[in-house]
């Protein structure tokens, strides 16, 4: 993922992950002569993020018939840390709709585009399925592009 901003007015909230070794945190850690306190929210996420692929029985409810569907865990992290609640997320290549679904789950709106009408249908179904009483329905903004 490449992330650019031409100004310092960007939206990014730090991404934290659980510390690799919970065992090590049980002992006092001295860094540069001072006692180091772990952040309760975990360590800062690095350049390499590890998420399971959507293979196997574990993901049978999430997996749909799109060849490059991304896990919602990744899409939600990106939406959550690079936008604010209530924002609209632009999804120019919606595919199975993972980023649109993530936007709805994280209280954002979405504006999605997808060439293939079958994938638009698939994405719409996924979006409808994650909406519930707690998540106000927004206007359907997933378009099939005709070129």
Ligand X SMILES: C[S@@+](CC[C@H](N)C(=O)[O-])C[C@H]1O[C@@H](n2cnc3c(N)ncnc32)[C@H](O)[C@@H]1O
Residue 113 lies near ligand X (rule: CB under 6 A): yes
Residue 145 lies near ligand X (rule: CB under 6 A): yes
Strands (E), 98-137: 109-114
Task: Give the range of 15-23, 47-55, 66-74, 128-136 binding ligand X by CB under 6 A.
Answer: 66-74
Residue 116 lies near ligand X (rule: CB under 6 A): yes
Residue 101 lies near ligand X (rule: CB under 6 A): no
Count the helix, strand and coil residues of the chain and give each as a percent rounded to the nearest 5. 25, 15, 60
SS (H, E, C) 58-102: HHCCCCCCCCCCCCHHHHHHHHHHCCCCCCEEEECCCCCCHHHHH
Min separation Cβ 142 and ligand X, Å: 11
Residue 98 lies near ligand X (rule: CB under 6 A): yes
Min separation Cβ 95 and ligand X, Å: 3
Q: Which residues contact 99 (CB under 8 A, 6 or more apart)?
A: 70, 75, 78, 79, 89, 91, 110, 112
Residue 106 lies near ligand X (rule: CB under 6 A): no
How many residues bind ligand X (CB under 6 A)? The answer is 15
Residues lying near ligand X in the complex (CB under 6 A) are found at: 66, 68-70, 93, 95-96, 98-99, 113-116, 119, 145
């Amino acid at each position: 993922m490449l992330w650019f901003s031409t100004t310092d007015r960007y939206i990014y909230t730090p991404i934290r992950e659980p510390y690799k070794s919970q065992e090590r945190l049980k002992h006092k850690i001295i860094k540069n002569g001072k006692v180091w306190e772990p952040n309760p929210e975990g360590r800062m996420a690095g350049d390499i993020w590890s998420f399971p692929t959507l293979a196997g029985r574990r993901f049978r409810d999430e997996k749909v018939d799109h060849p490059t569907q991304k896990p919602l865990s990744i899409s939600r992290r990106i939406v959550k840390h690079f936008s604010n609640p209530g924002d609209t997320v632009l999804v120019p290549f919606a595919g199975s709709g993972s980023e649109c679904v993530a936007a709805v789950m994280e209280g954002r709106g979405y504006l999605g585009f997808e060439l293939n009408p079958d994938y638009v249908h698939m994405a719409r179904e996924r979006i409808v399925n994650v909406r519930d009483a707690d998540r106000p329905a927004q206007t359907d903004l997933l378009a099939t592009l005709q070129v």
